[in-house]
Amino acid sequence: MRFTRNTIMATLLLTAIMFVFASGASAHTPPHGTCWRQAQTQPDGEKYPFLIKCRKFVAAHARKHRQEALARKCAATSVAATYDVCLGLVESPMPKWWVTDADFHELIRRESDWNPRAVNSSSGACGLGQFLPCRCFSKVRVQGRCIADYIHGRYGSPARALAHHNVTGWY
- pLDDT averaged over consecutive 10-residue blocks of the chain (171 residues)? 59 55 47 58 59 77 89 88 92 89 93 92 90 80 90 94 94 88
Question: In b/e form, how buried is each residue of 144-159, taking b as 16+ CB within 10 angstroms?
Answer: bbbbbeebeeebeebb
Residue 79, classified by CB atoms within 10 Å of its CB into exposed (0-12), middle (13-18) or buried (19+), is: exposed
Question: Quick one: pLDDT at residue 52?
Answer: 73
Q: Go through the chain and tell me how many residues it has.
A: 171
Residues 6+ apart with CB under 8 A from 13: none
Cut 0.95: pTM above it: no
Q: Cα-Cα-Cα-Cα dihedral of 114, 119, 124, 127, to 10°?
A: 40
**DSSP characters over 101-169:** -HHHHHHHHHHHTT-TT-B-TTT--BTTTTBSS--S-S-HHHHHHHHHHHHHHHTSSHHHHHHHHHHHS
Using an 8 Å Cβ cutoff, are 107 and 165 in contact? yes
CA distance 18 to 27: 11
Handedness of CA 13, 15, 16, 17 (dihedral sign): positive
CA distance 166 to 151: 15
Question: Quick one: pLDDT at residue 77?
Answer: 85
Question: Quick one: pLDDT at residue 20?
Answer: 47
Question: Quick one: pLDDT at residue 28?
Answer: 47
CA distance 97 to 102: 10
Q: For residue 134, give the nearest of 149, 145, 152, 146 by alpha carbon.
A: 146
